[in-house]
Amino acid sequence: LASGAVLTSDGWIATTLEYRTAVESDVVVVGGKGYVVTRVALEPGTNLQFLKVDASNLPVFAFGSGFDVRPGDQLFAVPSPTAVFSETAVESLWPAGAISSDVPSRRISVEDPLLGNYPGAPVVNVRGELIGFVEGSAMGFTSVLPVDGVLPPFNALLRTGMVARASLGVSSTDLTRTLGLPETETSGRAQGALLRGTSSVKKGSAGAVAGLLAGDVILSVNGTPIDETRALDDLIVTHVPGDEIVLRVARGSEEIELRAILGAL
């Protein structure tokens, strides 16, 4: 059985795809009461699914930010109303190599490997705000998916009836977390998202239409710098399709501004 979090008082629930895709007529239990699933919506960028049940006045978490979690912060995992585990955040992690701008890559690492036995369990901060969902364990730690990149596609579902994720359509190498790249590629910069290689800007994507080119270094999105606290995808996945963003870009020795209207993944 998977855990999950109630997102709306009228019965939208987020849970994991770890075990299987839910189907209509499945039963979920909230507060000791069973509810029949009436709709299932898959989220394309993460291992989550949104379930709808016919309910009212369900208790919900306030939403916090997993992106703001820092090493040493106390967190609490809540796999069930009767089970609460106190955890300590170790660090935020990103995968090595080229990263898509359109899929959440950041994970929060916590010390307890056994927490991975509860995929989908909501994780909250000391204020009781939902900051993420348990994914799984590896090498003695459990990874938590921040809620920040989950809410925009869910909000699109509420507004339009369809899950939709914003897309810039590029892949990049984060200079803050990558060592050993030649200065001919980085132009001596230690921060930013390098569009490395001819396939780094997808043809016809929002980034391509805006004028991004292979070899560019994206320095900021809407004035927020890409640095040790924010990667490019952190700044894209919190948007919705149709949003206009301003990109500060290093191209050779020059810096330019480009405007992009985000597409849909």
**Superfamily for domain range 166-264:** PDZ domain (2.30.42.10)
- Beta partners for residue 130, in sequence order: 63, 124
Residue 119 identity: P
Greatest alpha-carbon span in the chain? 62
The rounded mean pLDDT for the chain is: 92
Using the predicted structure, report yes or no on whether residue 117 has a pLDDT greater than 90: no
Burial class (CB in 10 A: 0-12, 13-18, 19+), 8: middle
What is the model's pTM?
0.90
d(CA 224, CA 176): 15
Predicted pLDDT of residue 25: 76
What average pLDDT does the segment 13-28 reach? Answer: 80
Is-same-fold flag (1-161; 166-264)? Answer: no
**Close Cβ partners of 83 (under 8 Å, ≥ 6 residues apart):** none
Q: Which two tokens stand for residue 184?
A: 């001919």
Using the predicted structure, report yes or no on whether residue 39 has a pLDDT greater than 80: yes
Pairing assessment for the beta strands 4-6 and 193-194 based on DSSP bridges: unpaired
d(CA 258, CA 265): 21
Q: Could you name the CATH architecture of 1-161? A: Beta Barrel (2.40)
Using the predicted structure, report yes or no on whether residue 156 has a pLDDT greater than 90: yes
Q: Which two tokens stand for residue 10?
A: 């009228």
What are the residue ranges spanned by the domains of the chain? 1-161, 166-264
